[in-house]
Amino acid sequence: MSLKIAFQKPSAQKVICLGVYEGNELPSVTETWDKNLKGFLSKSLSLTPKFKGEISQSLPLFTPDHQRLVLVGLGKKEEQRPGQWQKIGGALSNILNHMAFEGEAAVEIHSLKGHKNEHATSNIAFGLLLKSWRFEHYFTKKKPEELFTLKKVTFLTPSPQEDEKAFKALYPIAEGAFLTRTVVTEPANIITPEALAKVALSLKKDGVKVEILNEKELKKLGMNALLGVGQGSDEESHLVVMKWEGGKKNEAPLAFVGKGVTFDTGGISIKPSANMEDMKYDMAGAGVVIGLMKALACRKAKVNVVGVVGLVENMPSGLAQRPGDVVHSLSGQTIEVINTDAEGRLVLADALWYTQSRFKPKFMVDLATLTGAIIVSLGQERAGLFSPDKALSDQLLEAGENTNELLWSMPLDDVYDKDINSEIADMKNVGSGRGAGSTTAAKFLQRFTNSVPWAHLDIAGVTWATKDRTLCAKGATGFGVRLLNEFIEKNYEGK
């Protein structure tokens, strides 16, 4: 990651950032400023009525003596909390990229100096870092001004050591999210199932135990639902198990399971070509699980966690699975594959069953870009949460609110279940009608949880942002890493 963030006592300053509370309340430090500068500030504010000091608003200025100055809105004085500060950092990213001199900028949020919560500066820095991530290494011809060139931001603060320490505690979470964004953005000719398995393997250096199962081993275990999806591809399918053992020795682990379809053509039920390129990100569930494991390992989380990802490529070929084929899943249940494009649930069926039977986890949370229907329901704003477990749901919803990775609770009533009964097998992989596509997919998954506490996150809509978001430039969001990290930290560490 290219942006460097440093903390030091106020000194020579290249860009000063001045925080302004809602209602354009200038910080008391301006009282000590010279009259000209104060007059200039009041005039600037009165000439730009759209800037009101609302959260994340910004106003770049050049002072009469040619200093760069950015006013940034801090929102309401009484609503200062980490999520808000991160948003401020996010807003600063673009503006500092434009105003930086030789890629460097200094920030001094005067208003937050001496603020009673000492984590303001570190959270602003964290938001800035998250929003500044870019994937630009395939450009060979762009001019610097077309690229993101902000290289270093120095926070000028009265307590540089404390702020740096607080920032270092957050940094691993960004590292995890960036790993996710990278693998999600890389195209499918680079991120094949094997390449993604190798990315997971690279977590060994952070202290994660990693096992990679190949097709022969999966066949022997009986993971025919997963294998059927990859059967038309020249790329070998894999299941990867990652273990982070930071908790008590015999404590049951938390389990996270990810859909890792490195490219989803739909198979023989082939997709239309328009936007099919998007299906390179159909491995995002797996990408989030890998990024989460990285974050947990890098911050040495005090908890036992297993991550399991099913890695396959869904291609049509002479060897591909046909609509109507029946497969024997690892659970023993048989599945009639009506639509080869409803492949994610087939991969997860075996991955979920394997996870609960081998690890006896406290619970399982799976993540998958599972259905187009969840995009119809929730767009890019929230991921769908499906869980029969009220306590688990509440914890996940709250973690979503705290990290601005929002979830919305979706139904999982038993009446939807009979829709996937098949005429010739235990179940079919799509519902009969066209309705409630995300719920029938979730009901299918539920049949492979063996009643272990479980939640399913359908992240099809939130994985790829077509517009800039608060903490992410457009493109891969890494949605889920910060949410699940928070969920674990708040509820399962040191307990």
Query: Segment contacting ligand BES (CB under 6 A): 35-43, 183-191, 334-342, 420-428?
Result: 334-342
Of 181, 259, 294, 345, the catalytic one is 345
Look at residues 437, 462, 228, 420 and name the one whose alpha carbon lies nearest to residue 343: 228
Query: Which token pair is 335?
Result: 């599945």
Distance (Å) of CA 469 to CA 6, 131, 289: 24, 8, 22
152, with CB counted inside 10 A (0-12, 13-18, 19+), is middle
Q: Is 341 in the site for Mn ion (CB under 5 A)?
A: yes
Residue 217 CB, shortest distance to ligand BES, in Å, is: 25
Q: Based on CB atoms, which residue is closest to ligand BES, 6 or 375?
A: 375
> Could you say whether residue 486 binds Mn ion (CB under 5 A)?
no
- Find the DSSP H helices in 341-409: 344-359, 373-378, 390-403
- Binding-site member from 304, 371, 403, 446 for ligand BES (CB under 6 A): 371
Name the residue nearer to Mn ion (CB basis): 344 or 478: 344
Contact partner, 366, from Mn ion, ligand BES, Zn ion, none, Cβ < 5-8 Å per class: none
271 a catalytic residue: yes
| DSSP letters for 229-263 | HHTTSSSPPEEEEEEEE-S-TTPPPEEEEEEEEEE
Contact positions with ligand BES (CB under 6 A) in 440-469 = 460
Is 437 a residue that touches ligand BES (CB under 6 A)? yes
The amino acid at residue 308 is: V
- Binding segment toward ligand BES, per CB under 6 A, in 88-96, 249-257, 316-324, 340-348: 340-348
The nearer residue to ligand BES, 44 or 339, going by C-beta atoms, is 339
Q: Which is nearer to Zn ion, 70 or 257 (CB)?
A: 257
* Chain residue whose CB lies nearest ligand BES: 372
464-465/475-476 β-pairing: antiparallel
Q: Catalytic: 87? A: no
Applying the rule CB under 5 A, the residues between 246 and 305 that interact with Mn ion are 264
Residue ranges of alpha helices (H) inside 133-223 are 160-185, 193-201, 215-221
| CA separation for the pair 33, 304 (Å, rounded) | 53
CB 182 within 8 A of CB 298: no
Does 373 sit near ligand BES (CB under 6 A)? yes
Per-position x/- string for 208-247, each x denoting binding to ligand BES as judged by CB under 6 A, each - no binding? ----------------------------------------
CB crowding 324-343: b at 16 or more within 10 Å, else e: ebebbbbbebbbbbbebbbb
Q: Which one from 38, 198, 271, 362 is the annotated catalytic residue?
A: 271
Task: Give Cα separations from 24 to 40, 72, 83, 196, 268 (angstroms).
Answer: 14, 10, 21, 49, 60
Does 149 bind ligand BES (CB under 6 A)? Our answer is no
CA 50 to chain centre: 32
Q: Nearer Cβ to Mn ion, position 180 or 371? A: 371
* Closest by CA position to 343, among listed 375, 365, 374, 316: 316
CB of 405 to Zn ion, least distance (A): 21
**Binding footprint of Mn ion on the chain (CB under 5 A):** 264, 341, 343
Which positions touch ligand BES (CB under 6 A)? 264, 278, 282, 339, 341-344, 369, 371-373, 430, 437, 460
Give the residue numbers annotated as catalytic, written as ranges: 271, 345
